[in-house]
Structure 1
Amino acid sequence: MKFGIMASHQYPHGDDLRKRLDELFSTVELAAELGYDSVWTINHFQSNLATPQPISMTASLIPRSGTMTLGTGILILPLFHPAHIAEEFATLDHLSGGRVVLGVGAGYRDNEFAAFGVDPATRFRRFDESIRLIRALWSGETVEHDGEFYPLSGGTIGIRPLTPGGPPIWIGAGGRTAVRRAARLGDAWYAPGNSPNPGYLPKHVAVYNEALAEYGKDPASVERPIGVELYCAPTTQQAVETALPYARTEYATYAEYPALRWQRDRFDELVRHTLLLGSPEFLIERIGALRELGFNHVIFRPGWLGMPVEKIHASLRLFAAEVFPAFR
């Protein structure tokens, strides 16, 4: 079992961004020292939180992350030209020594699509075409692509990736159709662990496995990442008392977007079913259940809006000391 952290670089607009980034960098350096396996950056535009952009953030974490895998969790692919992303991630692949993953999703915030003049009704077709073109460019061969959105004739990439064929592509997806798309186009399905429906994960793992087999891929050979919310303290009561107020604030902020209003209305269900706030023993039990479903890479946000960095570091240290040994 691998464990990674989300570099949650989202802050209130009035915060001292330089100070917050220094805290983030210290958190990533600590995670590398403690033996965490990966670190992931965030992508949003015109957000209600100050959100530094993921390609720049990923590059800034390369010298601070030891041997950790670095990736975007996730990049909103329909808002970028695929030739741009192919070049950027080929560059990151070299800068990181082959440690980078391109994590992508189709997006959901209407204001982001409006800002880029992208019709959200086209996002899935753009998404599909972008991945196919990125992979073609990463081959290093001359590309003839008669696409709906990104036609390219005689195109070649300026720098070939260090990794043959390019970095892995992980696809964030929630619904049944999107999960099947992840199986068809991606190297991994980056599963969301925040559904308040306890039946969601078993059902969609089955959908993913069936689709992998349908597309001729071995279900046993793919990485199985899942994103969760997690905080570790000596007792579950301490974990809840420490983390829940900050998590509630962050989820209320997300819920300002129409597509996420359900997170405010159903926050108590999220707490019961998906927020992993607890003692090492509690977390070992819950992560063990995820392992039983087939997941082998747990990625979590180590803190929420306003949480002091000392509390974040305490959780990371305790989790590494007490939970890692149960799964490694």
Structure 2
Amino acid sequence: MSGVKIGIGFGLWNYGLPSAESICGYAELAEAVGLDSIWLSDHIVTRNPTLDISCLFAMIAGRTKRLKMGPSVLTLPARHPVHVAKTYATLDYISEGRMIMAVGSGSDLRDLAASGVPPAERGKRLDEGIKILRRLWTESHVTHQGQFYQFEDVTIEPKPRKGSLDIWIGGKSDAILKRVVRLGDGWFPALTSPQEFRRDMDKLISFGEEYGRPFNPREAGVLLLTHISEDRETAWKTVAPLLRGLPMPPEEVAARCIVGPAAECVEKLQAFVEAGCVKFVLRPACPSAEVMPQIEQYGTKILPAFAA
């Protein structure tokens, strides 16, 4: 399948928080080797030191020219959507139209608790928040009287360069897949397999027919933990710290990772392509000192295998 896009992602910095200059270096190298985009995981309350991703995007925007940027994913219910609309419209302006929005209901309930949001409300808040973002990015003098948010005569300027930002939605449950069809522009799961991806893609197509809003199969991408190494045993030892604390047994997470020699990694990605996936976000599962070599290998060993 032609048109495969590959980006890079970063998460909780489980191996230690890199310097700001290092993060910029990752983005610059990703752009130089031909990667499509950079994605940053959003967390407010964490066990490890982490950074506000809107600040990081502003920094990266000033150091790159082509690389698209997006959260993977933004916990929208933990924030007021008016503030989010303003922040990401500003980031789109300073990046000259390179922002993509991806939102979710929040995988870490501590973020919601710290923001005063009952977990039971997160789904409805997400729905309402998405609708508000769309209106504020496309309309002026917006008044909204909803269940959770109320405001009058709000205008966000400048608006996104392309008229709005695409809104991708993360997650895999049926409720989330229906939300993607009802409210989203794309689907962005993580920790999934090619078989699960195909199954859920078929559900999206079916839900699209049900809701009268057809889903475009090309507007779906997957985030994958990745480590390229000819020494398979060492590679898995490197990845192990990231597998702990995830919401499934380590062996199930491992089955959903792209780890091992480059040729095997290409084969695993090809299985996703055959399942209908054309967009990938590869998250380097390694200490900071190994990130740059991993990015180099994405450019020299992964991208050429999927060149149109």
Identity, % of aligned positions: 28
SS of the counterpart of 1:56? helix
Describe the superposition over 1:248-290 as per-residue Cα deviations: whole angstroms up to 9, x where unpaired.
11232xx1xxxx4x43xx212322x211112222122111111
Decide which of 259, 264, 277 is 1:277's aligned counterpart.
259
In structure 2, what is the Cα distance between the partners aligned to 1:99 and 1:248?
Answer: 33
Letter in 1 for 2:9: M
1:293 paired residue number: 275
Aligned partners of 2:79 and 2:115 also within 8 Å: no
1:43 and 1:75 in contact (8 A); partners too: yes
Q: Which residue does 1:43 correspond to in 2?
A: 42
CA deviation string 1:115-171 (max 9, x = no partner): 11111100011000001011111113222322001122222224322221x111111
Query: Residue in 2 aligned with 1:10?
Result: 13
Q: Runs of at least 4 residues of structure 1 off by over 6 A?
A: none
Q: Residue 322 of structure 1 aligns with which residue?
A: 301
- Which residue of structure 2 lines up, in the alignment, with residue 72 of structure 1? 71
Partner of residue 203 from structure 2, selected from 175, 199, 207: 207
Deviation (angstroms), 1:81: 0.5
Native 8 Å contact 2:99 2:165 kept in 1: yes
Structure-2 residue corresponding to 1:170 = 168
Residue 251 of structure 1 corresponds to which residue in structure 2? 243
Taking the aligned partners of 1:147 and 1:276, their CA distance within structure 2 comes to: 43
Equivalents in 2 of 1:141, 1:59: separation in Å? 25
Q: CA deviation at 1:222?
A: 4.3
What secondary structure, in the 3-state scheme, does the structure 2 residue paired with 1:123 have? helix
Separation (CA, whole Å) in 2 of partners of 1:31 and 1:103: 20
Structure 1 residues 160 and 221: alpha-carbon distance in aligned structure 2, compared to 1, 3 A threshold: same
Mapped partners of 1:190, 1:267: distance in 2: 22
Question: Cα gap change, 1:129/1:63 in structure 2, threshold over 3 Å: closer, same or farther?
Answer: same
Distance in 2, Cα, partners of 1:147 & 1:246:
47
Distance, in Å, in 2 between the alignment partners of 1:285 and 1:325 is 13
| In structure 2, distance between residues paired with 1:29 and 1:141 | 36
> Is 1:136 matched with 2:135?
yes
Gaps of 5+ in 2: none
C-alpha separation in 2, matches of 1:158 and 1:82: 15
Q: Quick one: distance in 2 between partners of 1:126 and 1:173?
A: 16
Q: Aligned AA for 2:92?
A: D
Pairs aligned (count): 304
| Amino acid corresponding to residue 191 of structure 1 in structure 2 | P
Structure 1 position 218, deviation (Å): 4.1
Q: Evaluate the alpha carbon distance shift between residue 139 and residue 208 of structure 1 in structure 2; reply closer, same or farther with a 3 A threshold.
A: same
1:308 positional shift? 4.3
Residue 199 (structure 1) shift: 4.4
Higher mean alpha-carbon deviation, 198-207 vs 60-69, is at 198-207
**Over the residues paired in the alignment, what is the CA RMSD in angstroms?**
2.0
Alpha-carbon distance between aligned partners in 2 of 1:217 and 1:172, rounded to the nearest angstrom? 18
Q: In structure 2, what is the Cα distance between the partners aligned to 1:155 and 1:241?
A: 56
Counterparts of 1:269 and 1:157, CA distance in 2: 44
Residue identity in the other structure for 2:11: S
Q: Provide Cα deviations, 1:190-229, integer angstroms capped at 9, x if missing partner.
A: 022x14x774222211111222333444444642211111
Secondary structure at the residue paired with 2:65?
Answer: coil
Residue type of the partner of 2:296? R
Aligned to 2:20: 21
Deviation at 1:108, TM superposition (A): 2.6
- Distance in 2, matches of 1:54 and 1:178, equals 23
For residue 230 of structure 1, what is the aligned residue in structure 2? 226
Q: Is the 8 A contact 1:229 1:301 kept in 2?
A: yes
Q: Which amino acid aligns with 1:6?
A: G
Equivalent position amino acid for 2:280 in 1: V
Partners of 1:224 and 1:148 in 2: CA distance: 30
Q: 1:247 corresponds to which letter in structure 2?
A: V
Relative contact order higher in (CA < 8 Å, ≥ 6 apart): 2
Q: Does the CA contact (< 8 Å) of 2:227 and 2:239 recur in 1?
A: no
The equivalent of 1:156 in structure 2 is: 155
8 Å CA contact 2:89, 2:158 repeated in 1:
yes
Per mean C-alpha deviation after superposition, the further-off stretch among 154-163 and 56-65 is: 154-163
Give the structure 1 partner of residue 250 of structure 2: 267
After TM superposition, the score normalised by the length of structure 2 is 0.91
Contact residue 5 and residue 300 of structure 1 kept, 8 A: yes
